[in-house]
Amino acid sequence: MKTYNKNHPSIIFAGSFSIDHIIRFKRLNKPSLGGSVSYCSLALSYYTQDAKIGIISHIGKINLKNSLLDKIQNKNIDLKGIKYSHVKNTNFVLDYFDHARTLTLKSKSPNLKFSDIPSEYLKYPPDVFVLVPLCNEISIEYVTQILKKFPDTYIGIDLQGFIRKIDENGKVAYIHDNEIISNMKRIINIIGDKLILKGSEEEMSLLAGICNNFDKVMTHCNEYNNNGIYIMTLGEKGSMLTKKGEKILKIPAFKPRRVIDETGAGDVYLSIFLFEFMHSDKSWKSVEKAAYFASAAASFLVEKKGPSGFETKKAVLKRLEKKRYIN
């Protein structure tokens, strides 16, 4: 994947696709394509034509129907980084009720291996390499090899798949586990100044070991010995961003026309933020601007079911200009 100029950044998303069985108020919907690689890549492909998008993943063919991949295959997304095996794919049951959800893992795709990355990707370093695992399929060793191969590349991190605790029954929980948190902090420290990390309120609080105090959670990020960017998404409360030496940014959430499905909103936020950030001069003011674009883009996602609520930059700009925020 060739590195482009700042007007055409190259971005690779690495992680598992999932089959999502979504239950809403005790009603089971048809299986849909899930996983951050799906939402991130699709959101960016709808948003702009000025990005080279690639995916690295490992698909289990036994239980993933090819038709679920139609949306991905019909977009201008490079799929040569996808490996197929005759195993079961990652499969989640997401049970939503009253803006909360339970998550159960029914099967898991194979872990990602650095040796499976296409030679073209290795030859032409991307501008951003985004690690978006679902259930610990990306190891510290994988991250270390990426950093050695791409020392000048920004590394995006979606926190969720690195710190999920999954029990023997497949129940997914965010509970403190010393080994998991220690490994995540090692990853943060080895990435250093090129890090752009995003997590939900729950995930960032767990990482920091702090509850019910957003400002303290964000301030805790400054304790890492790097100048990375840390993002905490807060749903209807918006988002917060921090970087060592900079004032904490508080970004409002934009008001959607309706709320149908919140799944993947954080993924949309991350992908649009990364694109706008790569287009910028990397100043803190530009980071704030990128976060507003990301927040507005994410507000469209919740208006439709599954991986379909994506919009163009033109539509996002219109919503930005109206400044209709959730109070």
Q: What is the pLDDT of residues 56-65, one digit of tens each?
A: 999 999 999 8
Q: How far is CA 220 from CA 83, 186, 190, 285, in A?
A: 38, 15, 18, 22
CA pair distance 221, 241, nearest whole angstrom: 10
Task: Determine what percent of the chain falls in helix, strand and coil, rounding each to the nearest 5.
Answer: 35, 25, 40
Amino acid of residue 307: P
Residue 23 pLDDT > 80: yes
The CA-to-CA distance between both ends of the chain, in Å, stands at 42
Handedness of CA 204, 41, 14, 225 (dihedral sign): negative
Q: What is the pLDDT of residues 214-245, one digit of tens each?
A: 999 999 999 998 999 999 999 999 999 999 99
Mean pLDDT on 277-301: 96
Residue 7 pLDDT > 70: no
Q: How confident is the model at residue 26 (pLDDT cuts 50, 70, 90)?
A: confident
Average pLDDT of the chain to the nearest whole number: 92
Query: Angle CA(33)–CA(35)–CA(39) in degrees, nearest 5?
Result: 80
Q: Which of 184, 117, 119 is nearest to 146 (CA)?
A: 117
Percent of the chain at pLDDT exceeding 70? 98
Mean pLDDT on 92-109: 86
Mean pLDDT on 255-270: 90
Q: What is the pLDDT of residues 129-180, one digit of tens each?
A: 999 999 999 999 999 999 999 999 999 999 999 999 999 999 998 888 899 9
CA pair distance 22, 25, nearest whole angstrom: 10
Q: How confident is the model at residue 99 (pLDDT cuts 50, 70, 90)?
A: low
Handedness of CA 99, 102, 108, 111 (dihedral sign): positive
8 Å CB contact between 262 and 235: yes
pTM of the model: 0.93
Instruction: Catalogue the E-assigned strands of the chain.
Output: 10-14, 18-24, 27-28, 32-34, 52-60, 77-85, 91-97, 100-107, 128-131, 154-158, 165-166, 171-173, 195-200, 229-233, 239-242, 249-251
Predicted pLDDT of residue 146: 97
| Domains of the chain, start order | 10-239 (3.40.1190.20)
Pairwise pLDDT comparison (261 vs 67), residue with the higher score: 67
Instruction: Print burial letters for 173-184: b (CB count within 10 Å at least 16), e (below 16).
Output: ebeeeeebbebb
Q: How confident is the model at residue 324 (pLDDT cuts 50, 70, 90)?
A: very high
Predicted pLDDT of residue 262: 82
CA pair distance 90, 129, nearest whole angstrom: 22
Pairwise pLDDT comparison (33 vs 308), residue with the higher score: 33
Q: What is the pLDDT of residues 79-89, one digit of tens each?
A: 999 999 999 99
8 Å CB contact between 32 and 68: yes
**One-character DSSP codes across 260-301:** S--TTHHHHHHHHHHHHHHTS---HHHHHHHHHHHHHHHHHH
